[in-house]
Structure 1
C-alpha cells in the first residue's frame, strides 16, 4: 500500500521498518551516513526534516511530516486494506 509522506511524495508502506524523529544523535549519524553512501532520499522539499523513514533496503527517507502523522496514515491504510479483504470474503459467501 502506498502512503503520502508530504509534498506529493509517496512510499510503499510495506517496506517501512521504522519511522523515527531526527533529533537524536544516533539518527543524525544514520542520516549523515546514508547521505554519504547515496542511499538517503530527501522528500522534504527544502523544509525541516521532522521524520526519518528507515526502509527494508537500508535506504533512509527524510520527510517534513511528523512521525505521528505518517504512522497514522500507515495504520489507516492497513485498516482500509483489512476492511476491504473482510468485505471481499463476505461477498464470496
Structure 2
C-alpha cells in the first residue's frame, strides 16, 4: 500500500488514503459535525489560529480543520494521485 501525503497548510500533512471528504465549513450540518467531534475529542485544528476554510473528514471519524481553501486541498490531492500513477 502506497502512503500518499497531502499538505493541508503550515507544514501539516494528512494521509490522502484516509480522507473521505473535503468540505467548506459554512453550512449548519458541517458546523454540527465540528462541534460533535470537538466534544468527542476527535477534532484536529490545523489552522494555527486563522480562519477555517476547509474541513477534512477522515475514515477514522476525525475532523481536521485547515486554513487552506477546499479547492486547493482537492487540487493537491488530485496532483498527488496523478504523480503516483505515472
TM-score, length basis structure 1 = 0.88
Any stretches of 5+ residues in structure 2 without a counterpart? none
Any stretches of 5+ residues in structure 1 without a counterpart? 84-93
> What does residue 82 of structure 1 align with?
85
Q: Distance in 1 between matches of 2:36 and 2:22?
A: 17
Cα RMSD after superposing both structures: 0.3
Q: Distance in 2 between matches of 1:49 and 1:4?
A: 15
Query: Are residue 71 (structure 1) and residue 71 (structure 2) matched?
Result: no
Shift of 1:56: 0.5
Shift of 1:62: 0.3
TM-score, length basis structure 2 = 0.95
Q: Distance in 1 between matches of 2:45 and 2:78?
A: 23
Shift of 1:47: 0.3
1:7 aligned to which of 10, 14, 19: 10
Q: Distance in 2 between matches of 1:54 and 1:3?
A: 14
Superposed structure 1 runs of 4+ greater than 4 Å apart: none
Count of residue pairs brought into register by the alignment: 83
By percentage of residues, which structure has more helix? 1
Q: Whose radius of gyration is greater, 1 or 2?
A: 1
Query: Are residue 56 (structure 1) and residue 56 (structure 2) matched?
Result: no
